[in-house]
Amino acid sequence: MEKLLKQCSELIINIARELKEKHVPSERATGKEGLFDQFNAANGFSGNNIKTGLQKIAPEIKWSYAEFDVARQSSGDVKGLYWVCDAIDGAVHFLQDFYPWCITLTLMDDQQPLMALIYDAEREELFTVIKGKGALLNGKALTVNHKAVLSDAIVSTVHPTNIPEEMDLVNKTLQSVNHMMPKVFALRLLGPASLQLAYVAAGRIDAFWEYGNDIYDWLAGALLVEEAGGKALIHDSGIIAANKPLYQALRKLL
């Protein structure tokens, strides 16, 4: 598994480098249609090259096409070993040439994550994890922060991407922010969910939650949190991740 992770890491780093150098649009889109066109071009480059590279590394492992189909994500329609990939998590940031964005890759066995990586090309930070063997950042072991009191905690969340179509989740998120802000030391909305989960694993953020059912956004980061000594629960209406004392506090509040 370590050899496979090393090969995958090298592949993702190289694709991210080329993505950053050649595929950030030279001109900003003037409307949503233009932005979607730019997204399809950049995401297609990244996703197709990752898929092709993985087929060479491990041709026996399947590829999940359910990134944009949340119903299929929870149905378990792919069996055995398969890849889950977000070719550009934080795509709006990438297309507008600001930070943060990342690439995520998770190896699944049925619906259980076995191995994952999250690569932040802007900071050259590679978060890696193998189930049962701990979480790493650029090869160094990660551990969640050990704060025990919510009033000391720095927490984060994120609102849905498709705002007009998901106003119920937007309102639920805003209500949770309003509810949490008086109870914590600081609250941030930082963009890609996978990177925020990686930051929980690294102890940079103390807790993260999100409403919705986009499970693929959370798999890599949730495994990182668990292997860094924290607790991550993907449930029917979202995800909660934190160290164990703060996790219990969040479960009562959210």
Give me the mean pLDDT over the 119-133 stretch: 97
CATH of 2-141, one of 3.40.50.2300, 3.30.540.10, 1.10.10.1150, 1.10.3720.10: 3.30.540.10
Phi, then psi, of 92 in degrees rounded to 5: -60, -40
Q: In whole angstroms, what is the distance from residue 213 CA to residue 166 CA?
A: 11
- pLDDT of 33 higher than 60: yes
- Give pLDDT, residue 74: 58
Burial of 239 (0-12, 13-18, 19+ CB in 10 A): buried
Q: Is 86 annotated as a binding residue?
A: yes
- Domain limits, the chain: 2-141, 150-253
Question: pLDDT of 210-234, one tens digit each?
Answer: 998 888 899 999 999 999 999 999 8
Q: Is 217 annotated as a binding residue?
A: yes
Q: In whole angstroms, what is the distance from residue 218 CA to residue 232 CA?
A: 9
- For domain 150-253, the CATH architecture is 3-Layer(aba) Sandwich (3.40)
Q: Is 88 annotated as a binding residue?
A: yes
The 8 Å CB, 24+ separation contacts for 120-127 are 120/195, 120/198, 121/13, 121/16, 121/17, 121/19, 121/20, 122/20, 126/9, 126/13, 127/198, 127/201, 127/202, 127/220, 127/224
79 — pLDDT class (breaks 50, 70, 90)? confident
Cα 211 off chain centre by: 14
Q: Are 243 and 145 in contact (CB under 8 A)?
A: yes
Give me the mean pLDDT over the 10-20 stretch: 95
Q: Supply the pTM of this predicted model.
A: 0.92
